[in-house]
Structure 1
């Protein structure tokens, strides 16, 4: 799967700000693993 942005992430998980702890999904192997990023400032 390709990179997913914040809008696409919101379509597949129920979490919203401030509990949305993902900003971007880099890799997704459904049922196996996920590589994601969270930007901290």
Structure 2
């Protein structure tokens, strides 16, 4: 008779829309960031 124990560990990261937007914003230059913030403020004052 053979008794065994197996443990599987996994980790998953889900890119939510908010996280995707944050990653995109972090890649912008200063000028692009100012323009993006201005655009967002126009869309949602």
The TM-score, its normalising length taken from structure 1, stands at: 0.25
The TM-score, its normalising length taken from structure 2, stands at: 0.24
Higher relative contact order (CA 8 A, sep 6+): 1
Which of the two has greater strand per residue?
1
